[in-house]
Structure 1
Amino acid sequence: MSNQYQRLAKLCLLMVISSILITACSQQVVQTTHFSSQIPSDCRVVQHVFGKTCVPLDPQRIIALDPIFTLDPLIALGVEPIGFASYNGSGEEVLLGVSFDEVEGAKNVGDAGQPSFEKILVLKPDLILTTDYGDDEQKYKLLSKIAPTVSVPNESHLSPEDYENKPWFKENLRFVAKVLGQEAKSEEVLRQYQNRIEALKNRLGNQLHQIEVSVIFYGEGYIWTISKGNYPVSFILDDVGLRYKSVPYGEWNLSIETISEYDSDILFIVDVDKRGASFYLQHPLFRDLEVVKNNRAYVVSQENWRSGGISGANKTLNDLFKYLPEDE
């Protein structure tokens, strides 16, 4: 009997959600996939991978469905979303580049890959920011029935050449700022970032041209490092003018035998599995490295170093300010 009640409850819930979606669809001023030539005067037209969207001029109830490409730039622009998605694949909620303290008061609507449409509906957003990795058109169509939805470009949309040479975390900020009509604010944020880069150069002085940096990620059953462009840290190190060890595009994974090749002047170990500093500094893979013996190996968080947005880039810079300069 209880199973019959459960099936009946699920059926009722499905009917309610379908009714709300149909109502939202009928109330939508402009369809994003079938853009009308009649453009309302109280919206901003944004072109993206799925077409055009009529975005409210001053959206107040924004949901960000990707921590890196939508939530990170919102926080950098000083915009407080009402909802956000996290990465939940490891069994815990994870944000990259943004802390949970920075979204206090906002509702978590589930995993970025499969957010809860029920939770999104309840929040009554007036703008949804999502991103696309090549298979999200159906999700986009459903979201656009709830509220105006913009698909924010990500690094997968770039050619390998652009991927390695264009600091895409800066362009990501500019795109989201354009959606919101906050282009001037984005340029201010980028100027502040550049000022911090110059300040770090000055702090390093002669050390700038004397040290080489390595970055190793450890976790999820893999050990890997950076290539040019695959994390903002490579662009940050380029901006500072530091030498760093890297691998060709797509060859990120390292073997146990090659760890010694990353015995540089300074080593950052990104603690993906959250094991703590003592685990790595006493680990047979690392403890015999000269950089560890010289106390220039530092364990840092994936939230700051595995990010892809300007907020995360600034948190990476925080660590560089903390660990790179050495009293001469």
Structure 2
Amino acid sequence: MKSLHRLTCFLLLGLLAVTLIAACNTASNTRVTNTHTTNDQPQVGNCRIIQHEFGETCVPLKPQRIVALNPDINLDPLIALGIEPIGYTSDRIKGKEVLSGVSLDDVKGATNVGKPDQPSIEKIFMLKPDLILATKYHPYQFLSAIAPTVVVPSPNLEMAGHEAFFKENLRYVAKVLGEETKAESVLSQYQKRIEDLKQRLGNRLSQIKVSVIYYIHGLVYTPAKNYDATADVLIDLGLHYKLPPSGKSFSIESVDEYNTDILFIINLERKPLSFFLQHPIFSRLKAVKNNRAYLVPLERWDTRGILGANQILDDLFKYLPENT
């Protein structure tokens, strides 16, 4: 059995090497081919040229077999655009499969190809994709030998733009797929929900002070704007949101800085709410005393996609009104 496995691996690596050489030759030929522009996107024959961090990729105009290798950065916007992948990655928490911002129902029928930081090249190869959506942390050379691969930009605290990352992210993936109009429709629906919640909160909107913290092993840190969807949703609402000091973690003794009317706790350790209610430091916070401290799931609030942003909005509709 071991010799058969080795033979299979050898053949697979051989196929990858041949495909890589062919891809390199194709890329070389593409560079000397005249291009023309349609809808602001350069096209060569039946593909669309997309620039990304590792170069440029000729993406099929209508890809049918897409593999998305990060739940936040490329699976979330893909599903939001109404496109079903054939392959995806996911995390596991205490043996349970979880996807940030995306429901497992959204990927029914698709193949799990591993973890976001360690996808299986062999499983991806066997799916015969015609487009791979990756990040800069994935093995681009191997992936691009299998199929056209686009490196979708990742959030960066030091290079954050002026717009929320989840909005830039959706627009980028939409550009890759030629679905710009659909992306603007999705963003308009999100903005309508923002306005609906503002109207529901009325005058209280200018009075509510909100904090969001991650908790793990006695340390806390907070979501950053133009990076985490949580911060950007709260800012879009116009709430008084306590911004983090450069996104760095700090000791739990400093949590008094986040002594606000409402506190959302993203609990990385999966501790029960009673842990925080009885904690000598947390228990003195205004939100805890007034029963306005809420535990929120990591997979719903630790997100950087438009679907994740809408899940956060779902919870804000539930928790922000006074009668909750």
TM-score by length of 2: 0.89
The equivalent residue for 2:154 is: 154
Paired residue total: 315
The equivalent residue for 1:210 is: 207
- The secondary structure found in structure 1 opposite 2:101 is coil
Q: Is the 8 A contact 1:33 1:52 kept in 2?
A: no
- The secondary structure found in structure 2 opposite 1:216 is strand
Q: Deviations over 1:21-51 (max 9, x none)?
A: 2454466597458743236411111111111
- Out of 308, 318, 321, the position equivalent to 2:304 is 308
Distance in 2 (CA, whole Å) between partners of 1:304 and 1:33 is 43
Query: What is the 5 A alignment of 1:168-317?
Result: 168-219=165-216, 222-251=219-248, 253-317=249-313
Stretches of structure 2 lacking an aligned partner (at least 5 in a row): 36-43
Distance in 2 (CA, whole Å) between partners of 1:21 and 1:76 is 32
Distance in 2 (CA, whole Å) between partners of 1:75 and 1:222 is 34
Which amino acid in structure 2 is aligned with residue 149 of structure 1?
T
Distance in 1 (CA, whole Å) between partners of 2:253 and 2:161 is 27
The equivalent residue for 1:73 is: 77
The alignment's C-alpha RMSD in Å is: 2.4
Distance in 1 (CA, whole Å) between partners of 2:17 and 2:144 is 11
The equivalent residue for 2:40 is: none
| Offset of residue 299 of structure 1 | 0.9
Which amino acid in structure 2 is aligned with residue 153 of structure 1?
P
- The secondary structure found in structure 2 opposite 1:248 is coil
Q: Is the 8 A contact 2:212 2:222 kept in 1?
A: yes
Q: Is the 8 A contact 2:59 2:148 kept in 1?
A: yes
Query: What is the 5 A alignment of 1:37-52?
Result: 37-38=32-33, 40-52=44-56
Q: Deviations over 1:227-271 (max 9, x none)?
A: 3334122221111110011222143x1212112222210000112
The 1:91/1:37 distance shift into structure 2, 3 A limit, reads farther
The equivalent residue for 1:163 is: 160
Q: Residue 14 in 1 paired to residue 18 in 2?
A: no
Q: Deviations over 1:284-316 (max 9, x none)?
A: 442332211211111111111110111111111
- Out of 308, 320, 323, the position equivalent to 1:324 is 320
Stretches of structure 1 lacking an aligned partner (at least 5 in a row): none
The equivalent residue for 1:99 is: 103
Percent of matched pairs sharing the same residue: 51
Q: Is the 8 A contact 1:225 1:254 kept in 2?
A: no
Distance in 2 (CA, whole Å) between partners of 1:164 and 1:326 is 34
Which amino acid in structure 1 is aligned with residue 308 of structure 2?
G
The equivalent residue for 2:58 is: 54
TM-score by length of 1: 0.88
The 1:140/1:32 distance shift into structure 2, 3 A limit, reads farther
Which amino acid in structure 2 is aligned with residue 306 of structure 1?
D
Distance in 2 (CA, whole Å) between partners of 1:275 and 1:90 is 13
The 1:230/1:177 distance shift into structure 2, 3 A limit, reads closer
The 1:282/1:193 distance shift into structure 2, 3 A limit, reads same
- The secondary structure found in structure 2 opposite 1:44 is strand
